């Protein structure tokens, strides 16, 4: 049984595929959205000229999201921060810490509280020490 080669992507399909790929969608997800085989999507998106165009789209999206994030952060007032509950503050603090560590080239992997305390103690010894069970002992 001879299989026909897949028909090329239309220009609108290719443009949509490039945008979706730039946004982080997989070949499979794009194929499902366009009702096309993922191998066809990969073939067309892997073309050197198309790959360059995708990099341009990624750069434009990155700038757009950076601008949006800046505007949103700058719009937060001290009063807004005071209104959020403890859970939201902890989550926000964790996210901000991860972003700060990424920008400093530091690991953002999950570490235990005990490991964090130990590293703090090594940097500046205090009267607080770790018990055998990982609890804090004074």
**Structural domain contains residue 41:** yes
**Structural domain contains residue 115:** no
- Structural domain total, the chain: 1
Q: Give the tens place of pLDDT for each residue, 18-72.
A: 999 999 999 999 999 999 999 999 999 999 999 999 999 999 998 998 899 889 8
Of 116 and 13, the structure prediction assigns the larger pLDDT to 13
**Structural domain contains residue 136:** no
Q: Give the tens place of pLDDT for each residue, 104-138.
A: 888 877 666 566 666 666 665 544 444 444 444 43
**Structural domain contains residue 116:** no
**Structural domain contains residue 59:** yes
Distance of alpha carbon 80 from alpha carbon 69, whole angstroms: 16
**Structural domain contains residue 11:** yes
Range of the domain at 46: 1-75
Answer for the pair 129, 137: CB distance below 8 angstroms, yes or no. yes
Overall pTM surpassing 0.75 (yes/no): no
DSSP state, residue 127:
S
């Amino acid at each position: 049984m001879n299989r026909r080669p897949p028909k090329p992507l239309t220009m609108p399909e290719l443009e949509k595929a490039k945008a979706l790929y730039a946004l982080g969608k997989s070949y499979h997800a794009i194929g499902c959205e366009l009702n096309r085989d993922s191998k066809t999507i990969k073939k067309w998106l892997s073309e050197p000229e198309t790959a360059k165009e995708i990099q341009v789209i990624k750069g434009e999206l990155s700038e757009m999201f950076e601008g949006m994030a800046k505007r949103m952060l700058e719009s937060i007032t001290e009063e807004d921060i005071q209104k959020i509950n403890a859970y939201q503050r902890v989550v926000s603090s964790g996210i901000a810490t991860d972003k700060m560590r990424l920008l400093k080239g530091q690991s953002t992997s999950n570490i235990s509280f005990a490991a964090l305390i130990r590293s703090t103690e090594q940097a500046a010894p205090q009267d607080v020490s770790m018990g055998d069970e990982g609890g804090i002992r004074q």
